[in-house]
Amino acid sequence: MTGRRVIHMHFGTDGGAERFFVNLCQALAEAGVEQRFVIRPNRAWAEDLRQLGAIYETNFRLLSPQSLGLRWRLRQMRAAWRPDATFAWMSRASKLLPQSGGGVRITRLGDYPRHLKNFARNDVIVANTPGIAQACRALGWQRPLGVISNFVREVTPRAIARTTYDTPDDAFLIVGSGRFIHRKGFDTLIRAFAQVEGAYLWLAGEGEKRPALEALARDLGVIDRVRFLGWVEEPMHLVASADAYVMPSRHEPLGNVILEAWRSATPVVATRSEGPSWFCEDGKDALLVDIDDVDAMAQALLRLRAKPDLAAQLVTAGQAQLSEKFTKSRVVAQYLALIDGDLSAMDFGR
Protein backbone atom coordinates (compact mmCIF):
# COMPACT_ATOMS: atom_id res chain seq x y z
CA MET A 1 0.00 0.00 0.00
CA THR A 2 1.22 3.51 -0.76
CA GLY A 3 -0.03 6.98 0.01
CA ARG A 4 -0.55 6.58 3.74
CA ARG A 5 -1.24 9.85 5.59
CA VAL A 6 -0.74 10.50 9.30
CA ILE A 7 -1.29 13.44 11.65
CA HIS A 8 0.84 13.48 14.79
CA MET A 9 -0.03 15.54 17.89
CA HIS A 10 2.97 15.77 20.20
CA PHE A 11 3.29 18.32 23.03
CA GLY A 12 6.51 17.01 24.55
CA THR A 13 9.53 19.11 25.43
CA ASP A 14 13.13 18.09 24.65
CA GLY A 15 14.54 14.73 25.66
CA GLY A 16 14.93 11.08 24.79
CA ALA A 17 11.23 10.53 24.07
CA GLU A 18 11.28 13.36 21.56
CA ARG A 19 14.44 12.00 19.95
CA PHE A 20 12.66 8.70 19.36
CA PHE A 21 9.56 10.46 18.01
CA VAL A 22 11.65 12.22 15.36
CA ASN A 23 13.48 8.96 14.67
CA LEU A 24 10.22 7.12 14.04
CA CYS A 25 8.74 9.88 11.86
CA GLN A 26 11.86 9.85 9.69
CA ALA A 27 11.56 6.08 9.32
CA LEU A 28 7.86 6.35 8.40
CA ALA A 29 8.76 8.97 5.78
CA GLU A 30 11.30 6.56 4.30
CA ALA A 31 8.46 4.04 4.05
CA GLY A 32 6.41 6.51 2.03
CA VAL A 33 4.13 7.87 4.76
CA GLU A 34 3.04 11.51 4.36
CA GLN A 35 2.89 13.29 7.71
CA ARG A 36 1.66 16.47 9.36
CA PHE A 37 2.61 17.63 12.85
CA VAL A 38 1.05 19.59 15.70
CA ILE A 39 3.72 20.44 18.30
CA ARG A 40 4.69 23.07 20.86
CA PRO A 41 6.44 26.20 19.54
CA ASN A 42 10.22 26.54 19.60
CA ARG A 43 11.10 22.86 19.88
CA ALA A 44 14.76 22.03 19.16
CA TRP A 45 13.64 19.13 16.98
CA ALA A 46 11.11 21.08 14.88
CA GLU A 47 13.46 21.56 11.93
CA ASP A 48 13.96 17.81 11.60
CA LEU A 49 10.19 17.38 11.36
CA ARG A 50 9.80 20.30 8.96
CA GLN A 51 11.73 18.30 6.39
CA LEU A 52 9.05 15.61 6.60
CA GLY A 53 5.84 17.63 6.43
CA ALA A 54 3.92 20.75 7.46
CA ILE A 55 4.01 21.77 11.12
CA TYR A 56 1.40 23.65 13.13
CA GLU A 57 2.96 25.06 16.30
CA THR A 58 0.77 25.78 19.31
CA ASN A 59 0.47 25.16 23.02
CA PHE A 60 -2.36 22.94 24.17
CA ARG A 61 -4.18 23.69 27.41
CA LEU A 62 -7.45 21.95 28.08
CA LEU A 63 -9.35 25.04 29.24
CA SER A 64 -8.35 27.99 27.08
CA PRO A 65 -9.54 29.91 24.00
CA GLN A 66 -6.40 28.67 22.27
CA SER A 67 -7.60 25.10 22.78
CA LEU A 68 -10.89 25.87 21.00
CA GLY A 69 -8.95 27.33 18.08
CA LEU A 70 -6.72 24.27 17.96
CA ARG A 71 -9.69 21.91 17.83
CA TRP A 72 -11.16 23.91 14.93
CA ARG A 73 -7.82 23.87 13.11
CA LEU A 74 -7.51 20.11 13.54
CA ARG A 75 -11.02 19.54 12.18
CA GLN A 76 -10.13 21.59 9.12
CA MET A 77 -6.84 19.75 8.67
CA ARG A 78 -8.48 16.34 8.86
CA ALA A 79 -11.33 17.30 6.52
CA ALA A 80 -8.97 18.67 3.89
CA TRP A 81 -6.23 16.08 4.18
CA ARG A 82 -8.17 12.91 5.16
CA PRO A 83 -5.48 11.08 7.14
CA ASP A 84 -5.39 7.32 7.52
CA ALA A 85 -4.43 7.69 11.18
CA THR A 86 -4.24 10.36 13.86
CA PHE A 87 -1.67 9.83 16.59
CA ALA A 88 -1.77 11.36 20.05
CA TRP A 89 1.61 11.14 21.71
CA MET A 90 1.04 10.96 25.47
CA SER A 91 -2.17 10.91 27.40
CA ARG A 92 -3.24 14.57 27.38
CA ALA A 93 -3.06 14.90 23.60
CA SER A 94 -5.69 12.13 23.35
CA LYS A 95 -8.28 14.77 24.23
CA LEU A 96 -7.76 16.16 20.72
CA LEU A 97 -8.54 12.94 18.87
CA PRO A 98 -11.65 13.30 16.67
CA GLN A 99 -15.01 11.88 17.63
CA SER A 100 -15.18 10.49 14.11
CA GLY A 101 -13.03 10.68 11.00
CA GLY A 102 -9.30 11.14 11.10
CA GLY A 103 -8.63 7.49 10.32
CA VAL A 104 -7.50 5.13 13.06
CA ARG A 105 -7.36 7.03 16.36
CA ILE A 106 -4.24 6.04 18.24
CA THR A 107 -2.57 7.05 21.49
CA ARG A 108 1.02 5.99 21.91
CA LEU A 109 2.06 5.83 25.56
CA GLY A 110 5.65 5.96 26.75
CA ASP A 111 4.71 6.24 30.43
CA TYR A 112 2.21 4.80 32.86
CA PRO A 113 -1.30 6.36 32.76
CA ARG A 114 -2.98 7.33 36.00
CA HIS A 115 -6.51 7.00 34.59
CA LEU A 116 -8.39 6.34 31.35
CA LYS A 117 -10.52 9.48 31.12
CA ASN A 118 -8.45 10.95 28.28
CA PHE A 119 -8.89 7.92 26.01
CA ALA A 120 -12.63 7.99 25.27
CA ARG A 121 -12.05 8.64 21.56
CA ASN A 122 -9.32 6.06 21.02
CA ASP A 123 -9.60 3.05 18.74
CA VAL A 124 -6.37 1.62 20.13
CA ILE A 125 -3.62 2.32 22.67
CA VAL A 126 -0.03 1.44 21.84
CA ALA A 127 2.40 1.09 24.74
CA ASN A 128 6.14 0.89 24.32
CA THR A 129 6.56 -1.67 27.13
CA PRO A 130 4.45 -4.57 28.43
CA GLY A 131 4.34 -2.92 31.86
CA ILE A 132 2.52 0.13 30.49
CA ALA A 133 0.09 -2.12 28.61
CA GLN A 134 -0.58 -4.12 31.78
CA ALA A 135 -1.28 -0.88 33.63
CA CYS A 136 -3.88 0.11 31.01
CA ARG A 137 -5.64 -3.24 31.35
CA ALA A 138 -5.54 -2.95 35.15
CA LEU A 139 -7.28 0.43 34.89
CA GLY A 140 -10.06 -1.19 32.87
CA TRP A 141 -9.12 -0.61 29.20
CA GLN A 142 -11.04 -3.17 27.10
CA ARG A 143 -10.44 -1.97 23.54
CA PRO A 144 -7.49 -2.99 21.33
CA LEU A 145 -4.13 -2.60 23.04
CA GLY A 146 -0.66 -3.53 21.88
CA VAL A 147 3.05 -3.19 22.56
CA ILE A 148 5.40 -1.65 20.01
CA SER A 149 8.75 -0.72 21.45
CA ASN A 150 11.56 1.52 20.18
CA PHE A 151 14.57 1.25 17.93
CA VAL A 152 17.83 3.17 17.95
CA ARG A 153 18.80 5.91 15.55
CA GLU A 154 20.93 4.71 12.65
CA VAL A 155 23.99 6.58 13.83
CA THR A 156 27.53 5.26 13.58
CA PRO A 157 28.91 6.12 17.04
CA ARG A 158 32.32 7.76 16.95
CA ALA A 159 34.22 8.22 20.18
CA ILE A 160 35.06 11.84 20.98
CA ALA A 161 38.63 12.63 21.94
CA ARG A 162 38.76 12.89 25.72
CA THR A 163 40.90 15.98 25.46
CA THR A 164 37.78 17.71 24.11
CA TYR A 165 36.50 17.82 27.69
CA ASP A 166 39.81 17.96 29.55
CA THR A 167 39.78 14.28 30.49
CA PRO A 168 42.89 12.05 30.69
CA ASP A 169 43.06 9.32 28.05
CA ASP A 170 43.80 6.66 30.67
CA ALA A 171 40.99 7.63 33.07
CA PHE A 172 38.01 5.35 33.71
CA LEU A 173 35.26 7.40 32.02
CA ILE A 174 31.59 7.20 33.01
CA VAL A 175 28.82 8.85 30.96
CA GLY A 176 25.22 9.65 31.89
CA SER A 177 22.62 11.57 29.90
CA GLY A 178 19.08 12.88 30.24
CA ARG A 179 17.03 15.58 31.89
CA PHE A 180 18.32 16.80 35.23
CA ILE A 181 15.16 16.12 37.22
CA HIS A 182 14.57 14.11 40.40
CA ARG A 183 13.20 10.97 38.73
CA LYS A 184 16.34 10.58 36.61
CA GLY A 185 18.47 10.00 39.72
CA PHE A 186 21.66 11.79 38.71
CA ASP A 187 22.36 12.58 42.35
CA THR A 188 22.71 8.83 42.94
CA LEU A 189 25.14 8.59 40.02
CA ILE A 190 27.32 11.44 41.33
CA ARG A 191 27.46 9.88 44.80
CA ALA A 192 28.39 6.48 43.33
CA PHE A 193 30.97 8.02 40.99
CA ALA A 194 32.60 9.72 43.98
CA GLN A 195 33.50 6.25 45.29
CA VAL A 196 35.38 5.33 42.10
CA GLU A 197 38.81 6.78 42.67
CA GLY A 198 40.35 8.60 39.71
CA ALA A 199 37.31 8.19 37.44
CA TYR A 200 35.82 11.01 35.36
CA LEU A 201 32.13 11.67 34.71
CA TRP A 202 30.53 13.29 31.67
CA LEU A 203 26.89 14.35 32.11
CA ALA A 204 24.95 15.37 29.00
CA GLY A 205 21.68 17.19 29.59
CA GLU A 206 19.95 20.10 31.27
CA GLY A 207 17.17 20.62 33.76
CA GLU A 208 16.02 22.18 36.98
CA LYS A 209 18.33 20.04 39.15
CA ARG A 210 21.56 21.11 37.47
CA PRO A 211 22.55 23.68 40.16
CA ALA A 212 21.89 21.10 42.88
CA LEU A 213 23.92 18.46 41.05
CA GLU A 214 26.83 20.86 40.60
CA ALA A 215 26.65 21.73 44.30
CA LEU A 216 26.63 18.03 45.22
CA ALA A 217 29.74 17.40 43.12
CA ARG A 218 31.47 20.31 44.87
CA ASP A 219 30.43 19.08 48.32
CA LEU A 220 31.77 15.59 47.57
CA GLY A 221 35.06 17.04 46.34
CA VAL A 222 34.76 15.65 42.80
CA ILE A 223 33.70 18.72 40.80
CA ASP A 224 37.11 18.80 39.11
CA ARG A 225 36.40 15.36 37.59
CA VAL A 226 32.80 16.03 36.46
CA ARG A 227 31.94 17.63 33.13
CA PHE A 228 28.46 19.14 32.71
CA LEU A 229 28.09 19.23 28.92
CA GLY A 230 24.54 20.55 28.41
CA TRP A 231 22.36 19.16 25.63
CA VAL A 232 24.38 17.62 22.82
CA GLU A 233 23.18 16.98 19.29
CA GLU A 234 24.16 13.31 19.25
CA PRO A 235 24.84 11.75 22.66
CA MET A 236 25.83 8.38 21.21
CA HIS A 237 29.22 9.83 20.28
CA LEU A 238 29.76 10.75 23.92
CA VAL A 239 28.63 7.30 25.04
CA ALA A 240 31.03 5.64 22.60
CA SER A 241 33.88 7.43 24.39
CA ALA A 242 33.01 5.89 27.76
CA ASP A 243 34.13 2.86 29.71
CA ALA A 244 30.66 2.66 31.31
CA TYR A 245 27.24 4.17 30.71
CA VAL A 246 24.97 4.60 33.75
CA MET A 247 21.20 5.05 33.78
CA PRO A 248 20.39 5.85 37.44
CA SER A 249 16.65 6.54 37.10
CA ARG A 250 14.15 6.20 39.92
CA HIS A 251 11.36 5.80 37.34
CA GLU A 252 12.08 4.81 33.74
CA PRO A 253 9.27 3.26 31.66
CA LEU A 254 11.67 2.07 28.94
CA GLY A 255 15.20 3.50 28.95
CA ASN A 256 16.02 4.16 25.31
CA VAL A 257 19.45 5.41 26.43
CA ILE A 258 20.39 1.81 27.25
CA LEU A 259 19.67 0.80 23.66
CA GLU A 260 21.88 3.68 22.52
CA ALA A 261 24.68 2.51 24.83
CA TRP A 262 24.46 -0.99 23.39
CA ARG A 263 24.70 0.43 19.88
CA SER A 264 27.71 2.45 21.04
CA ALA A 265 29.41 -0.74 22.34
CA THR A 266 29.52 0.60 25.90
CA PRO A 267 28.68 -1.56 28.94
CA VAL A 268 25.67 -0.49 30.98
CA VAL A 269 24.90 -0.07 34.67
CA ALA A 270 21.21 0.65 35.32
CA THR A 271 18.72 0.72 38.15
CA ARG A 272 16.00 -1.88 38.43
CA SER A 273 13.41 0.63 37.24
CA GLU A 274 10.50 -0.48 35.09
CA GLY A 275 12.05 -0.59 31.61
CA PRO A 276 15.44 -2.14 32.43
CA SER A 277 13.70 -4.74 34.60
CA TRP A 278 11.78 -5.80 31.48
CA PHE A 279 14.47 -6.01 28.81
CA CYS A 280 17.80 -6.28 30.67
CA GLU A 281 19.18 -9.36 32.41
CA ASP A 282 21.52 -8.66 35.30
CA GLY A 283 25.02 -9.95 34.66
CA LYS A 284 24.25 -10.90 31.07
CA ASP A 285 23.68 -7.66 29.13
CA ALA A 286 23.82 -5.06 31.93
CA LEU A 287 24.60 -4.72 35.61
CA LEU A 288 21.39 -3.89 37.48
CA VAL A 289 21.26 -2.29 40.92
CA ASP A 290 18.42 -1.30 43.20
CA ILE A 291 17.05 2.23 42.88
CA ASP A 292 18.96 4.76 45.04
CA ASP A 293 21.54 2.13 46.09
CA VAL A 294 24.68 4.26 45.87
CA ASP A 295 27.05 1.59 47.15
CA ALA A 296 25.78 -1.08 44.74
CA MET A 297 26.12 1.33 41.80
CA ALA A 298 29.67 2.16 42.83
CA GLN A 299 30.52 -1.55 43.17
CA ALA A 300 29.11 -2.24 39.70
CA LEU A 301 31.34 0.46 38.24
CA LEU A 302 34.36 -0.91 40.07
CA ARG A 303 33.58 -4.39 38.67
CA LEU A 304 33.55 -3.03 35.13
CA ARG A 305 36.85 -1.25 35.68
CA ALA A 306 38.47 -4.38 37.13
CA LYS A 307 37.00 -6.88 34.63
CA PRO A 308 37.36 -5.86 30.95
CA ASP A 309 36.12 -9.32 29.92
CA LEU A 310 32.86 -8.72 31.78
CA ALA A 311 32.44 -5.34 30.07
CA ALA A 312 32.94 -6.95 26.65
CA GLN A 313 30.45 -9.72 27.49
CA LEU A 314 27.77 -7.21 28.47
CA VAL A 315 28.24 -5.33 25.20
CA THR A 316 28.01 -8.47 23.07
CA ALA A 317 24.83 -9.65 24.78
CA GLY A 318 23.30 -6.17 24.67
CA GLN A 319 23.88 -5.85 20.95
CA ALA A 320 22.24 -9.26 20.48
CA GLN A 321 19.20 -7.88 22.31
CA LEU A 322 19.11 -4.94 19.92
CA SER A 323 19.12 -7.24 16.92
CA GLU A 324 16.41 -9.48 18.35
CA LYS A 325 13.89 -7.08 19.90
CA PHE A 326 14.55 -3.49 18.88
CA THR A 327 15.04 -3.36 15.11
CA LYS A 328 13.88 -0.54 12.88
CA SER A 329 12.32 -2.89 10.30
CA ARG A 330 10.22 -4.67 12.92
CA VAL A 331 8.96 -1.51 14.63
CA VAL A 332 8.16 0.31 11.36
CA ALA A 333 6.28 -2.71 10.00
CA GLN A 334 4.16 -2.80 13.16
CA TYR A 335 3.31 0.90 12.86
CA LEU A 336 2.46 0.59 9.16
CA ALA A 337 0.03 -2.22 9.92
CA LEU A 338 -1.53 -0.06 12.62
CA ILE A 339 -1.90 2.91 10.25
CA ASP A 340 -3.61 0.58 7.77
CA GLY A 341 -6.19 -0.23 10.45
CA ASP A 342 -4.97 -3.77 11.14
CA LEU A 343 -5.71 -4.09 14.84
CA SER A 344 -5.67 -7.90 14.79
CA ALA A 345 -2.33 -8.06 16.62
CA MET A 346 -3.42 -5.46 19.16
CA ASP A 347 -4.74 -7.91 21.73
CA PHE A 348 -2.44 -7.51 24.68
CA GLY A 349 -3.62 -9.15 27.88
CA ARG A 350 -7.05 -10.31 26.73
CA 320 to chain centre: 20
Same structural domain, 207 and 305: yes
Kindly state whether residue 348 falls inside one of the protein's structural domains. no
Q: What is the pTM of this model?
A: 0.91
Kindly state whether residue 157 falls inside one of the protein's structural domains. no
List CB contacts of 131: < 8 A, sequence separation 6 or more: 112, 253, 274, 275, 278
The predicted structure's pLDDT at residue 2? 52
Number of domains in the chain: 2
Same structural domain, 41 and 141: yes
pLDDT at 63 over 60: no
Same structural domain, 123 and 197: no
Kindly state whether residue 178 falls inside one of the protein's structural domains. yes
Read off the pLDDT band of 70 (50, 70, 90): confident
Kindly state whether residue 346 falls inside one of the protein's structural domains. no
CATH of the domain at 184: 3.40.50.2000
Amino acid identity of 186? F
Is the CB of residue 245 less than 8 Å from the CB of residue 261? yes
Same structural domain, 141 and 11: yes
Same structural domain, 260 and 172: yes
Domain coverage including residue 22? 5-151+327-339
The predicted structure's pLDDT at residue 185? 98
Is the CB of residue 302 less than 8 Å from the CB of residue 197? no
Same structural domain, 317 and 175: yes
The predicted structure's pLDDT at residue 13? 83
The predicted structure's pLDDT at residue 100? 84
Same structural domain, 194 and 126: no
The tens digit of pLDDT for each residue in 119-147 reads: 999 999 999 999 999 999 999 999 999 99
Same structural domain, 144 and 283: no
Same structural domain, 221 and 332: no
The tens digit of pLDDT for each residue in 74-88 reads: 999 999 999 999 999
pLDDT at 114 over 70: yes
61 or 242: which leads in pLDDT = 242
Read off the pLDDT band of 1 (50, 70, 90): very low
The partner residues of 126 in beta bridges, in order of sequence, read: 108, 146
Kindly state whether residue 75 falls inside one of the protein's structural domains. yes
Same structural domain, 228 and 315: yes
The tens digit of pLDDT for each residue in 253-294 reads: 999 999 999 999 999 999 999 999 999 999 999 999 999 999
Same structural domain, 129 and 249: no
Kindly state whether residue 233 falls inside one of the protein's structural domains. yes
Same structural domain, 120 and 200: no
